[in-house]
Structure 1
Amino acid sequence: MASLYDRFILPRLLACGCSSSPVMKQRAKVVPKAAGRVLELGIGLGLNLAFYDPDRVTRVTGVDPAPELRARALTAARDPRLSVAIEDGTAEALPFEAASFDTVVCTFTLCSVHTPPAALAEARRVLRPTGTLLFCEHGLAPDADIAKWQRRLEPLWKRIAGGCHLTRPIATAIAAAGFDLQQVDSMYVPNTPRITAWNEWGSATVR
């Protein structure tokens, strides 16, 4: 059973951090590219739903293990024409058949899944051979001084931020999971604490 912190405080903290203007601008760079049948890993509060193009997307299926977040996603802003289903599930054990989706969207999720390689392997499994992984994630900074503070603060950060890690690599982990990176951009997101500001986004296809 979720603690009182997870049920009432954490969703508010996530809403504050994950819906900031700089972070939403990053989401807007990736999500509108989704097409066909879409799976969103860790749909959370449903903040990406406003960015899907209903003229390109057949249906969005979102999975998340947290009932408190799924409930918020159900009422999140979206185009009324967008078909959405939200299901209980974890990224490491997706309840879908192989080659079921045209696009998998993964935004600010790899930081908090228990086992990123397993989550990426599942994303690869459920993607059709011609499908696309769209990602936008914060992770390990390339600058030694910032990375040092990320490592120092990560144990405490995980406790207050729902298991979020600060030091996970992004593009290299995606490539190691059997994807071919098609496009990768990166930068420190402005007006964001440096320990969480390093962001990598782009697209990848199944190798």
Structure 2
Amino acid sequence: DLKPENILLDARGYAKLCDLGFARFVLTKSNTCVGTLEYMAPEMIDTPHAHDKMVDWWALGILAFELITGQVPWDDEAATDTMAQLAMIRSGQEKGIPSELLPSGSILIKDFIKQLLVVNEAQRMGRKRGGAEVREHTWFARAGFDFAALQAGTLPAPYTPPHKVVEKRLPDDFDDSQAPGSLYAEYTPDGTGWEAAF
């Protein structure tokens, strides 16, 4: 469920996704209709709700739009119920991206968003070559974005959250020594350090 509320920043300013309750390993298509309404791709809204990983590229387009404009492209909070709101969002998707909300001088980011928010999933950016296709978009190239440094964890973040280290302790009214062993398994690091940022 990709949306700003589910993106946390670690101490270095690197984004971490949380709330993966709707995450699924899907080889073909899924027929669920779950998630944040404003971020749902057309193929998830339309019956039979058959969708694949392309809904994630759609959600990235919505996220980029919201980060640039401060609002999602399609929403109708005045709708009386969830189905009415979904119908309004789906109708808006067919009308196209409200590009008047995007900053006028941002041609490359507009193109990035437009290529992700293509209603026909077969023509959406990411369909042909997945993440490689998205990373090769001109917006990243012109900005000189270094994906290798990002993956290596050496790319300086544009923002590092201020934080102070607090002593880790449990609330006084909770004694973890009484937790049943069958419910809580002791974690033993495997030496790779994968969990260091969590």
Return the TM-score normalized by structure 2.
0.24
More strand by share: 1
Which has the higher Rg, Structure 1 or Structure 2?
2
Return the TM-score normalized by structure 1.
0.23
